[in-house]
Amino acid sequence: MKRLLFFVLAAYAVAADTRSPLIVDTPMPAPEWAKLERRLLAENVPACREFFEKYYDDRGYLKCFVRWGANDGPDDAFENFNRWPELHALGASDDIMSMYLKGWEGMLRQYTEAKTTDVPAGKQGMYYKDFSAQSDWMHHGEGEQNFNRMGMSVPNLPIYQERARRFAGFYMAEDPEAPNYDPKLKLIRSMMNGSRGPLLRKATPLDWVGDPFDPKGFGLVHGETTYEQFLQHYQEYGDVVGDHFINLVATTLPTDAYLLKNEAKYKQWIVEYMDAWLARMKENKGIIPSYVALDGKIGGVEGKWWNNAYGWGFSPVNPVNGRRENRNRIPRALVGFHNALLVTGNQKYVDAWRDMIDAVNSNARTVDGRKEYPTMYGADGWYGWQSRPWNVGVMDVWYWSMKPADLSRVGENSWISFLQGKDAAFPETALKRDLDSLPRKIEAIRADKTLPEKRLADNQLNLNPAATASLVQLMLGGLPPGVDGGLLNARLRYFDPVRQRAGVPEDVGALVSEITDTRTVVTLVNLNATTARTVVVQGGAYGEHQFESVELNGKTLPLGARDFTVQLAPGAGARLALTTHRYANAPTITFPWARN
């Protein structure tokens, strides 16, 4: 593990920042929120180490019964590191990155070696070329989410850069073994795709479930109790051919590659593909379809724009309870809209989602004097009625636009109340909540007596102790990433130029207390009473935001840069008000001192 860490650190060590820093030397009594931040960053590490040492072996292999399948397959194995990349990028110990990379590399080997006996796509290996051989982008996204955010800490790691370009090539018609993309019609040819290409026939339950096995004695977390019930669960999942809004998560792969060196071809593909989807939305009365046929026609010859598994009209029977359940996975499509905004800065992608919210809600009905709003659409029209307006993506739309009208859709939210100056207790409350979760997770890990041969890949997902939600909101002014495979949305990010790594330096706390369209307010404090600390502050998770000026101690200083350096004297702190031009720069994962 130490050798791996040395290699990683050497991969991105470059000359330190030489620009003149802002000097902060005003003493600041140590705020409680800052002490809690430092505790949470520190106490995550031993909790994660205990998790890693229990569930991974010396090779970095997950100690479990290895299966292919949507319930308990490879994507779940990789999800066991959810939030670890963000944790390190925030400033937690390098041990987090070392363990995470060891497990990641180990599982790539483990699932490349693992082969199915009955499922066609996995017979030569569940993973191929370090990527899932074939799956849908709900599960691809869950499995790749941590790779997608790995670059925040190891941007120059050669194998990361090589994989980022290779993975993008699977969806850009660059790999003849993975003909997923039709460049003429600008569509991904199936919602089941991967490093071995698209599934261009009806999917069978076996394709989804994986090889037969006896589930007796396993901890089954999805409700089924027999293999036959597994198959019944996926009986109606056959429609997969053609493009699907869930494939928009795939845009993260070319975005990963674009973040390396801003090579034009990656941005061009993202814009080409996303603009094709915007055109489809316009043609479909503002609503994104879930089925685009191989000839490019929305809904195919029958015009069923709502078709396909996980689509607008997807309400299969749950064999456990015998009831139909609505499984429209449209929230996953938000990833593509963020990626397009990130690489272009063009608000038309935000506008399109906002317009879709209005389009769906325009189909409301009144029953017994009460208004109801739809969430689904099928052969008989709108259904899935609920008492509140359809609000998928309202938080994202507000965060991307910063428009008051968009904020009005969000509703009650403690973090937003804090940003508006209405809930001063929120930082301490949120940080204590995450701190309190750690001992509970450790206790549960120690109480887990399951044997590896009876442990499925998803059994320990809820035991992963990494707690970062409060840190992302408070330190970065960001949205805690979900499991959908998207990148980080953040107003600020930090770097340590002395240790040459991502994250705040030791002893430093940061609190973003206000964000608007043009303004960002952050308080930085050095809790060390004897040693100065130097921190680089960056606009956005990927340098996409530009700082025009900073107000410090009553003076306004010009900046005109995507990042700046602050030197914090021992025990000093300050409130910085930053005039911010959002989405003004080409995003990058290159560290600040390596790009100036």
**567-590: average pLDDT:** 98
> Is the distance from CB of 116 to CB of 68 less than 8 angstroms?
yes
**181-185: average pLDDT:** 98
For residue 542, give Cα distances in angstroms to 48, 474, 511, 535, 548: 26, 18, 19, 16, 17
Predicted confidence band of residue 13 (pLDDT cuts 50, 70, 90): very low
pLDDT at 2: 46
Which DSSP letter does residue 537 get? E
pLDDT at 337: 98
Distance (Å, whole) CA 62 – CA 47: 17
**22-40: average pLDDT:** 98
Distance (Å, whole) CA 254 – CA 265: 9
**338-342: average pLDDT:** 98
pLDDT of 191-232, one tens digit each? 999 999 999 999 999 999 999 999 999 999 888 999 999 999
pLDDT of 137-149, one tens digit each? 999 999 999 999 9
**256-279: average pLDDT:** 98
Predicted confidence band of residue 17 (pLDDT cuts 50, 70, 90): very low
Of 208, 268, 265, 266, nearest to 236 by C-alpha is 208
pLDDT at 507: 98
Predicted confidence band of residue 14 (pLDDT cuts 50, 70, 90): very low
The answer on pLDDT for 415 being more than 50 is: yes
Alpha helical stretches, state H, 80-211: 84-90, 94-113, 137-150, 158-170, 205-209
pLDDT at 408: 96
pLDDT of 458-497, one tens digit each? 999 999 999 999 999 999 999 999 999 999 999 999 999 9
**61-83: average pLDDT:** 97
Predicted confidence band of residue 15 (pLDDT cuts 50, 70, 90): very low
Predicted confidence band of residue 596 (pLDDT cuts 50, 70, 90): low
pLDDT at 331: 98
The beta strands (E) that lie in 334-423 are given as 365-367, 370-372, 376-378, 381-383
pLDDT of 102-145, one tens digit each? 999 999 999 999 999 999 999 999 999 999 999 999 999 999 99
For the chain, what percent of residues have pLDDT higher than 90? 96
Q: Is 11 helix (H, G, I), strand (E, B) or coil?
A: helix
Domain boundary assignment for the chain = 492-595
The answer on pLDDT for 4 being more than 80 is: no
Kindly tell me the sign of the dihedral angle through the C-alpha atoms of 194, 199, 205, 210.
negative
> Is the distance from CB of 114 to CB of 126 less than 8 angstroms?
yes
By DSSP bridging, strand 508-515 and strand 519-526 are antiparallel
pLDDT at 19: 62
Kindly tell me the sign of the dihedral angle through the C-alpha atoms of 215, 220, 225, 231.
negative
| Three-class HEC string of 287-331 | CCCCCECCCCCECHHHCCCCCCCCCCCCCCEECCCCEECCCCCHH
> Is the distance from CB of 208 to CB of 119 less than 8 angstroms?
no
Homologous superfamily in CATH for domain 492-595: Golgi alpha-mannosidase II (2.60.40.1180)
- Tokens 């991969």 sit on residue: 11
CA 71 to chain centre: 20
Of 194, 298, 303, nearest to 249 by C-alpha is 194
pLDDT of 295-328, one tens digit each? 999 999 999 999 999 999 999 999 999 999 999 9
The half-sphere exposure of 104 on its side-chain side, counting CA atoms within 13 A, is 24
Of 147, 55, 164, nearest to 108 by C-alpha is 147
**535-545: average pLDDT:** 98
**372-387: average pLDDT:** 98
The mean of the pLDDT values for the chain is: 96
The answer on pLDDT for 258 being more than 70 is: yes
Q: Is 411 helix (H, G, I), strand (E, B) or coil?
A: coil
Predicted confidence band of residue 454 (pLDDT cuts 50, 70, 90): very high
pTM here is: 0.96
Predicted confidence band of residue 90 (pLDDT cuts 50, 70, 90): very high
Of 198, 189, 213, 169, nearest to 64 by C-alpha is 213
Which DSSP letter does residue 494 get? E
Predicted confidence band of residue 277 (pLDDT cuts 50, 70, 90): very high
Predicted confidence band of residue 402 (pLDDT cuts 50, 70, 90): very high
Q: Is 387 helix (H, G, I), strand (E, B) or coil?
A: coil
